[in-house]
Structure formats: C-alpha cells, structure tokens
Structure 1
C-alpha cells in the first residue's frame, strides 16, 4: 500500500488516541479560517496501528493503579463526539473498590472510543500494520512495513509508538526468571509463572513496582501464587514519593519541600512523580507495619543483591521504558531521536539538529508539558499519563501541523 497524505500518525495507543481526540476538539471548537484547516488535517490524517483496534495494549492491563477516572475522562471535553461516552463512564462507580479497573475502563471507554475513531478515520485507519522504519527528507516522510513495503508518504509525521522495557544488563544471568512490569501487569494466568520455591523480587520502588506488589497481594489471579512467598522490593532511591495533600504528608510523616515539591496548580505534593491510589495505600501499610509480607531492601547497585536474585523464584523488573521507535533515517543517515522542546519536535541526539516535519509524544518520547501541567518544581522526569497529552502537548503539535 502506498498512500499519500498531509500527515501520518504512527500508533493509536493512549497518546495516539488523545491526538485524534484533541484534533476532533479543535475542529469542533475553532472559528474560521482555522476550523477549515483542522478539518482538512482530520480528513487527510492517516493513522497506522499495529494492533487489531485503536487503543494499543492499554486494554490488556488487569489493574488500574496508574490512572483514575478523573484523569481518563479529562481529555474528553464537552461538545465533542465523546461527551456522552464520558458521562456514561462517570455514572458507573465501583461499589466495593476504591478504583476502576482497566478491564472496566476498556469496556466502558476504550472500546467505544476505538469505535468512534474507526468511524471518523474510515479507510485512513490502517490496523494490524507494523511500521519498522521511517525515511525523512526535507519535504517527505515515508513509513515502511514489516516486509519493507512503502505504507504511507506524507509531508509530516507524528510518532506515538509507545515505550518498551529492556532487560538490564545486570539482570542477564537471571533472565530466565525475569519478567517486565508491563507483561506482568497483563498476566491473566499464574500458571505461566515459574513455580519453583523462592521469593518474589521486584527491582525498583517506583509506582509500577508498588502496583506489581499490590496485585500480588490482592488480585485473585496472582494472590494464590504469591501466598507463602516473601515479596522484596530493591530500592535504590531511599525517598518514596506519594501524590497527596500536604496535610496527608504531614499526618503520615512523609518528607517534602513546601516550595519545590508542591504543585502550584493542584496544591498536591509530588503531583507528577508520586505513588497513586492502591500503590500509595500499599506503601503506607508497609511504612506503618500493617503489611508485613512486603519489605523494602536498600541497594546501591543490583550486584549488591546477588544473593536475593539467586534465591528468587520470580523477578519483576520495574525500571521504566524507552521509546519504542522504528528505525529513523534523515536523508539516508540514521537518527537517534530525542525531544527537541516541549512542543513535540524531535531532533537527533548526536547533532542536536531538528528533524524536519517529525513530531512525537507519549511513553518513551518523554515530553514534559509546560504551564499548568508541569507540576511541582522538583519533578525532572517524564510525564507519561493520560492527563497531559490532549490538554498540553497534542494541541500544540496540531497547531504546528496546520502551518503553511
């Protein structure tokens, strides 16, 4: 297939969905003449997705420790095709749980959103199509498939390819019993996990780490597997940050700085970097000695924990994501890309030069929105949640795409 368009979008997971939603919102809310430009971009946009429906792998996760209902629906503004869907979703509370599980998110929101976007894009949505490499020249962006066939030629390109987890070199000797956070949180069958005797070792003490531990303790799919096993979290950073109010932090003796660690917009401590919901509750239980099956083990390096790694039956690596990008060349020269600014342009790491007409955001690209969505001053990580995408990054990229 060789399709020509003004712009192609690679990936329709969380970031890609938010891009399309933001574009629909622009069309709905803008005045002429910008309205016509937004509509023209929507009409010509070609989206490429490796899975069988928009949404990426988000619907495969079994718990929802990362995103609550308010964050998920914040991107669905009024007077769009998505407003009724948002209102229906908010009317479906959980009776016995303090969170909405991701399978329920998938049923109530992700699948209906995918259906709407499928109807919006029509034949311009290419499903079950993997992009393996991208060629950029001054005036053209080309994407190629798994058999090196040309998929789409366009003037501009937006990469929303998600992230990937790679095995740490220090864990190579134990690779046979190591799983990554993502696949672990998608596990539906505990019989696939190694059943020899031993503890469960979680490498890292991030939000994902506590989410994994929470699931081992509370999810019926895994709690039987974890029964009778020690759960040990290797903790490199002694400070565990919690997203909470200053009052909550004081009450639970959690350290923070009044100036740098409190978001000026929300008033929350560690708005972008802190543990949320079940992960936060689990840490408080561990800290107070209520939950005794999980312990935090300090380490300066993984090599310090060789005896723990040797004795573990299962190792869960929770050490973050890298961009899951296809091979990218500019005028035949391979590029290793990074964010150029908080406006979505990408550049080459080695030269620092901008790659013309190439934009990207989402997990792995790690663009931190400025302004109201920047959060606390001390935050220096990436902002990968649903909330910042449509409200900060996607609209800025869209406005650059319609420039002549």
Structure 2
C-alpha cells in the first residue's frame, strides 16, 4: 500500500506534460554545462589537484542546473549560481561560468520587485570579481574580472527592462479592459434610456387612445338602440382614433427596427402644432374643452415640442379617464425662455378623485410627465384645484434647459 502511495507522485511527475519554456531552460542548461566544462578543460590548468578539478566540475554542473530551475525559483537560482561562480573562479576555473549567473540574474530581475534593486547585482558582481581575483587563472585576469561583472550587470538590467515592458503591457491591457467595461456600461445605460423613452411613447399613445375609445364605445353601447345615427358617429370616432394610434405605434416599431433609430422621417414626433387635433379628440370623448394659447407661437426644439405635447396629451387623458364629461381648459403659454402647459378641469359630478399625494393616484402617467419636464430643466405640479384637478408643467426652451 505504501509502495503504491509513493509511486503515484513519481508517475504524475513522469507523465505530466512539461511546460515548453521549462524544456527550453533544460536545453539551455545542458548547452551551458557542456560549453563551460569544455572551456574549463581548455583553460590550461592541468596541474590542479583532483579535488579542485572535481570541485570546479561540480560547481559548473550546479550552476547549469540553476539555469534549468530559474523559472521555478528565480531568486534561489541567482544566489546559488553566484556562489558557484565564486567557488569555480576562486580555484582557477573557467570564468565563462558568469554566463549562468547572468541568465539567472535576468530571470530574478524580471520576476520580482526590489526596494534596493542595485544590491543584488552589486553583491553578485563583487563576489564574482573576488573569485576571479583569487583564482587569477588567466594572464589578463583584470580584463576577465571586468567582463564577468559586466555580463552579470547586463543580464540584470535586461531583466529589469523585460519586467517594465511586461508591466506596461499589463497596464495597457487593463486600460483597454476598463475602456471596454465603460463602453459596455454606456451601451447598457443607453439601452435602458431608450427603453424608458419607448415606454413613455407607448404609454402616451395607448393610454390616450384607449381612454377615448373606451368612453366613445360606452356612449355607442348606450345609444345603439335609441339613436343609431349618434352610435354610428361615435363608432366613426372610435375607428379614427384606433387608426391614428395604430399609425403612431407602427412608426414607433419602425424606429426600433430601422438601423438608424434617430431617423426623423420615421419617428412619431407630434408637437404643439398638433394640439388642435388633440383637443378635437378630447372633445369627441365628451369633454367640454377650451383651448387657450397665449404668447406668440414659435418653433420649439424637437425634444421640448414632443414632451410638451405628450404632457398635454397625458393630462387630458387623465381628465377623460377620471373626470369624464366635464369642462376643462388647456392653456399653452409661450414665454421667452420656456413654455407652460396648464390643464385644469372642473371635476367629476360624482365622487372626487384622490389627490396627487395619495399613493394610488401617483401612477406611471404622472411620473412620466414629471420626468419629461425635468429632462428639459422644468417642473410639473399636479393636485386639486377647486372642485377639480390641475396639471401645470414648465419646460425650458433654451439650450441650457436640455438635460439630455
């Protein structure tokens, strides 16, 4: 049982697929080991004792192994390679072993952050220089000393440069990811805003049209047997209102399907210029509506014009739905920097409807009107007015009022 437990880690190690870079390090270590051993053999030091020769060979092999293990333990590999270089050069071995130190120095500098970045390459250079000075295997050992220290420093600084480049790449990728995240958030928010706009338009179209249709259908049902002519006229109004609502909804659907959703040729954008037609529809529902336009009518910005029309439409729809056949006034006042929409009714003959502050009275219609007014720097106030109800909205018409 214990034998099986011991062989399983060995089997996993043998069968595990090694990383390609690790294989490359082993190949590089083998080449360095063979090359440095050949350079040591040709160094001319034949009178050395057998113990020193074994020490040099062992140090070279161990330094080569640190190259193979440099990605697994960068700092330990650099430290061991430096010690091996000191020992080998101190006993007169080949100074080419400093190449192993330079390779491990590159990996150590590339892999970690250091407070005193100069301390490790400085210590490695001094230790290698001390080994060359003690061994003096070559005639021009001073030049060898400088060359070995330079090779180690080059390896270290190359590692620092590689680390900085990697950090820049990572920072660039993070910035790109952040930009993509912000772009996705902006697209999501734009989709939410567009859905809100569509919901407002659908609510305004459907609520107004259905309210008129419901009232006129009720009238037609009551007079169908006694006054066929009035019933026919009422059904004609229902048909006209239905066709108009379907037309506006069809245009809205085309906007959603069109590749350019802002195409003004497709968008259903009524404005205050169509207010007379709206008043006629409300009158056809039985409301005695008086239209009062004050000031000089002028072209308004498209968004303001549409919002003003929709606010008037929703307020009149509430009159039809909640007050019924009553007297009402729609006043539109054009000012220098804003436009005011005021809808006031005399109130139903039956039980009074709830005030605006009561929870069940504040429906989506009033919320939508407030949002439309706030979008253009204005306000909307709604509440009881005498025995009836009043909705008063102000929308700014200058550029500073546009909050979109």
Query: TM-score normalised by the shorter chain: which range applies?
Result: under 0.3
Question: What TM-score do the two structures reach when normalised by structure 2?
Answer: 0.19
By percentage of residues, which structure has more strand?
Answer: 1
Question: What TM-score do the two structures reach when normalised by structure 1?
Answer: 0.19
- Highest relative contact order (Cα 8 Å, sep 6+), 1 or 2? 1
Question: Larger Cα Rg: Structure 1 or Structure 2?
Answer: 2
